A and B are shown apart, each in its own frame.
Chain A
């Protein structure tokens, strides 16, 4: 019998179960795109049959880090840039958990960039939502890795000399097996994409455009937007790596020309998740490791049995 009976519970789940009694109302700035991520998650999680106690949400630092406070589940508000390695280890320790990591564009593409690359490379079975508002909001408006070239801020008074990072292309090159971009202004698409990302067996990377009306007033609020899957203008195969790469490049460039293109850009359902790969090499226990510590009858191996090498 599992020590974790919330996992896989078969029942109807109401989205309001994800509203915490302690901080039911989020306190992001009025008009902030982060509200939409919260709303989309609250919609997606019950849709895919997940209850608050089988979900573990790991956040970084930034306005996005407050997500835990407003979403009732097991939550771990970690440190800047490190939500992903904390999250993926929890998944290895208990693969039955639904693991979601979330952070901002500075958190995921800047300070935590190395972890993003390697977690995508290893294809850990988890969802990573990046709140991309093209700015550092919590520290009051500095240029971020996704700010457009020429972006002026107090720390870049003459305008940024740097081209912005290309998050979708980066995810693809690194090895993510589900890559999508959605926008706060498109709640239905956002909820659908998050539901797909959660259901996906592998590293699902969702670049979520979240306008910042306080510190990025010059930036567009991501309207109008186009869903590439619904538009006749775009025709590409999301399972084809080359076509996806080309499309991503265009989408990333267009954003800075004022055209907001959203949708699914790459899906590889065949790539085994990291847990599966590790099981295949015999480096991963068949049963969730976390269960073993609750099993009073578990047999524990001893180093004493290794001592013949030493005598």
Chain B
């Protein structure tokens, strides 16, 4: 570890308040002037509910989790379903301590709750011996006793925070402030007492460690938020005032945030019978003139296939979001994966005619959701934002100022009644909705209820007035008009000042790493380390999936000798897409894949890259897979 950073891991059972405590901890560090990033471990529900959250804090921007960590607050699992020592899966109560030791860095700190974790069990772990080997500093303390003295057992987490603050030399007032803001009444008072008591107790400990909290000074005010917030806020700021959905992990988070704010924003949120209805309703609302969205995760999104195709055929603007999780089928519902790329690109019958973005983080999620609405309404087609659980739940500190933006309720080429009078109509008065020669392929719309605007809209192929028509010339004219929109959108995107693709590393680097969506931050962290170690490598993070950023990717691949494509699925879907779109580079592109339910760690990319470049036969580590380039 070269730079000064804190990676604090809080481990406990489901119900021990791991999430809320870690959020407050991250917020306190952010308020103290640091940049923060949280990483949540996805627990296996089958084997007990213990889990952990890491908070990484540095003076500089943080784009990824780290490798390992340096402070463990182990609460033990007070909700262990099977605390018996001879239980089939082992002692669940102890796991928040025993299962977290392997990744603790040298010189790290361990705090554990002796009120819950039995000292005899700890002896069995050989903790003393391991601590000596690794220069760990162990501080056992009875957190439960402190919690009980002033309040309830669950306040062990607050006690743990107090101890952490004392050991790291942090200003405890940030935590006091958060407790005062977030809690009230007795609970607030009790927590404050628990915090202060634990802090004072730990200050009296003999401190044997060197680790302290880094110091920093943010130049601008920061906010702590995840990708779900960003997608929801991007949609609201794009003027979206209609959402229909059905709960499914992990998409539920966006749906929840939108539903909670929709009334105060004057819109309508609908939880409905299934995802077919959800997507169909978004189309219905959009057809009636409103900016609308829906979304789901893998299986629910599969149900939206047909309405999605209907949106393409009827040129109904709509935005759908797809929160990927490990598949196929129910797969691993609480684990992230990037296995739905081909699903969102191609699902529904006929030729795809949609926009697909995969944001890399919080800011990108906000930006690209807004852009998805803009393009969907300007070009009258569906736009999809595809993300995964990593984006969904990871908290990052982002400048508040970034969100100080003008709303964009523009619905694209929708005619007013005045304009309708001047527009082309059939001699019988029916509005010409689908002009085959329309500029950029986009024919202006009218909205039901408007005088002079009546026309038909159909999932069948139609003539310019929306009446079913299977004439070959009409078919070619209408199909070509619709399909050209993607070319126009690509031109628009290429002309934009800022690209949705992101780059890292020296421009003249010898080798390249390409990734898409959520893995970008981790890849960038790995690229920094590789260059520090003397490698010559740069990275490209792609967000535009359809229309594909052909020019940018071509330029990148041409500029390097070889490139490895990093993605979280088993079949290398993005690499496949790249070769399909570019029609070459098969001998230049290899794949580094991971599909065990956990996102990449920077070290896995570093090791994988080194193995590939140094032509080692296999990638070290058992959770990633290497697929060589064609001919290798």
Binding site for B on A (CB under 8 A): 3-7, 9, 20-23, 52-54, 56, 58, 61, 66, 68-69, 72-79, 82, 85-94, 96-97, 114-115, 117-118, 278, 282-285, 289-290, 292-294, 298, 300-304, 306-307, 310-311
Q: Are B460 and A93 in contact (CB under 8 A)?
A: no
Number of A-B pairs whose CB atoms are under 8 Å?
230
Chain A's nearest CB lies how many Å from the CB of B58? Answer: 19
Q: Are B468 and A90 in contact (CB under 8 A)?
A: no
Chain A's nearest CB lies how many Å from the CB of B568? Answer: 27
Report B-chain residues with C-beta under 8 Å of the C-beta of A284. 268
17 A-B contacts, Cβ less than 8 Å apart? A4-B447, A53-B452, A69-B467, A73-B454, A75-B458, A77-B458, A78-B459, A89-B284, A93-B268, A115-B277, A283-B268, A290-B288, A290-B449, A293-B291, A293-B409, A301-B264, A303-B234
Given A90-B284, A310-B224, also A302-B428 (CB < 8 A): no
- Complex Cα spacing A97 to B447, Å: 11
Report A-chain residues with C-beta under 8 Å of the C-beta of B264. 301
Report B-chain residues with C-beta under 8 Å of the C-beta of A115. 273, 276-277, 280
> Which residue on B lies nearest to A8, using beta carbons?
B449
Report B-chain residues with C-beta under 8 Å of the C-beta of A93. 242, 268, 284-285, 288-290, 292
> Which residue on A lies nearest to B452, using beta carbons?
A53
- Complex Cα spacing A283 to B258, Å: 12
B441 within 8 A of A: no
Report B-chain residues with C-beta under 8 Å of the C-beta of A86. 280-281, 283-284, 287
Given A94-B288, A94-B449, A303-B236, also A82-B416 (CB < 8 A): no
Per-position contact with A for B210-254: 1 when CB-CB < 8 Å, else 0? 000000000001111100010011101101011010000000000
Report B-chain residues with C-beta under 8 Å of the C-beta of A75. 455-458, 466
Report A-chain residues with C-beta under 8 Å of the C-beta of B451. 4-6, 9, 53
Most chain A CB neighbours (cut-off 10 Å) among B234, B287, B307, B430: B287
B580 within 8 A of A: no
Chain A's nearest CB lies how many Å from the CB of B481? Answer: 19
Q: Are B287 and A69 in contact (CB under 8 A)?
A: no
B135 within 8 A of A: no
Given A4-B449, A54-B449, A97-B448, also A68-B458 (CB < 8 A): yes
Given A75-B456, A86-B283, A301-B264, also A310-B229 (CB < 8 A): yes
Q: Are B307 and A118 in contact (CB under 8 A)?
A: no
- Complex Cα spacing A72 to B232, Å: 39
Q: Are B280 and A303 in contact (CB under 8 A)?
A: no
Report B-chain residues with C-beta under 8 Å of the C-beta of A77. 456-460, 468
Q: Are B281 and A89 in contact (CB under 8 A)?
A: yes
Q: Are A88 and B281 in contact (CB under 8 A)?
A: yes
Q: Which of B82-90, B140-148, B397-405 contacts A (4 or more CB under 8 A)?
A: B397-405
Report A-chain residues with C-beta under 8 Å of the C-beta of B463. 22
Residues facing A in B557-586 (CB within 8 A) are none
- Complex Cα spacing A69 to B430, Å: 12
Report A-chain residues with C-beta under 8 Å of the C-beta of B458. 68, 75-77
Given A93-B289, A302-B407, A303-B237, also A285-B266 (CB < 8 A): yes
> Which residue on B lies nearest to A281, using beta carbons?
B263
- Complex Cα spacing A90 to B55, Å: 45
B267 within 8 A of A: yes
- Complex Cα spacing A303 to B234, Å: 8
- Complex Cα spacing A93 to B243, Å: 11
Report B-chain residues with C-beta under 8 Å of the C-beta of A72. 428, 430, 454
Q: Are A89 and B283 in contact (CB under 8 A)?
A: yes
B314 within 8 A of A: yes
Report B-chain residues with C-beta under 8 Å of the C-beta of A78. 280, 310, 459
B203 within 8 A of A: no
Chain A's nearest CB lies how many Å from the CB of B474? Answer: 13
Q: Are A306 and B272 in contact (CB under 8 A)?
A: no
> Which residue on A lies nearest to B224, using beta carbons?
A310
> Which residue on B lies nearest to A282, using beta carbons?
B263
Chain B's nearest CB lies how many Å from the CB of A175? Answer: 13
> Which residue on B lies nearest to A73, using beta carbons?
B454
Q: Are B244 and A293 in contact (CB under 8 A)?
A: no
Known: A300-B409, A304-B405. 4 other contacts (CB 8 A): A3-B416, A86-B281, A89-B242, A310-B225
- Complex Cα spacing A285 to B306, Å: 30
Report B-chain residues with C-beta under 8 Å of the C-beta of A306. 233, 261
> Which residue on B lies nearest to A283, using beta carbons?
B263
- Complex Cα spacing A97 to B292, Å: 18
B632 within 8 A of A: no
Report B-chain residues with C-beta under 8 Å of the C-beta of A3. 416-417, 447, 449-450
- Please pick, from B265, B280, B403, B468, the residue contacting A304 in the complex, using a CB distance under 8 A: B403
- Complex Cα spacing A19 to B99, Å: 74
Residues facing A in B414-462 (CB within 8 A) are 414, 416-417, 426-430, 447-460
> Which residue on A lies nearest to B466, using beta carbons?
A75
B587 within 8 A of A: no
> Which residue on A lies nearest to B465, using beta carbons?
A22
Report A-chain residues with C-beta under 8 Å of the C-beta of B117. none
Chain A's nearest CB lies how many Å from the CB of B262? Answer: 8
Report A-chain residues with C-beta under 8 Å of the C-beta of B265. 301
Q: Are A300 and B460 in contact (CB under 8 A)?
A: no
B411 within 8 A of A: yes
Report B-chain residues with C-beta under 8 Å of the C-beta of A118. 272-273, 277
Report A-chain residues with C-beta under 8 Å of the C-beta of B411. 293
Report A-chain residues with C-beta under 8 Å of the C-beta of B192. none
Given A56-B448, A82-B280, A302-B237, also A74-B455 (CB < 8 A): yes
Chain A's nearest CB lies how many Å from the CB of B127? Answer: 38
- Please pick, from A21, A300, A311, the residue contacting B428 in the complex, using a CB distance under 8 A: A21
> Which residue on B lies nearest to A275, using beta carbons?
B268
Report B-chain residues with C-beta under 8 Å of the C-beta of A304. 237, 403-405
B270 within 8 A of A: yes
Q: Are A285 and B284 in contact (CB under 8 A)?
A: no
- Please pick, from B232, B400, B416, the residue contacting A307 in the complex, using a CB distance under 8 A: B400
Report A-chain residues with C-beta under 8 Å of the C-beta of B310. 78-79, 82
B274 within 8 A of A: yes
> Which residue on B lies nearest to A278, using beta carbons?
B268
Q: Are B307 and A79 in contact (CB under 8 A)?
A: yes
- Complex Cα spacing A115 to B458, Å: 20
Report B-chain residues with C-beta under 8 Å of the C-beta of A76. 284, 287, 314, 456-458
Report B-chain residues with C-beta under 8 Å of the C-beta of A56. 288, 448-449
Q: Are B450 and A4 in contact (CB under 8 A)?
A: yes
Report A-chain residues with C-beta under 8 Å of the C-beta of B236. 301-303
Q: Are A22 and B467 in contact (CB under 8 A)?
A: yes
Report B-chain residues with C-beta under 8 Å of the C-beta of A82. 276-277, 280, 306-307, 310
Chain B's nearest CB lies how many Å from the CB of A81? Answer: 8
- Complex Cα spacing A114 to B229, Å: 31
Q: Which 10 A-B pairs have the closest CB atoms?
A: A21-B428, A89-B284, A4-B449, A303-B233, A310-B223, A89-B281, A93-B288, A77-B458, A290-B289, A86-B284
- Complex Cα spacing A30 to B455, Å: 27
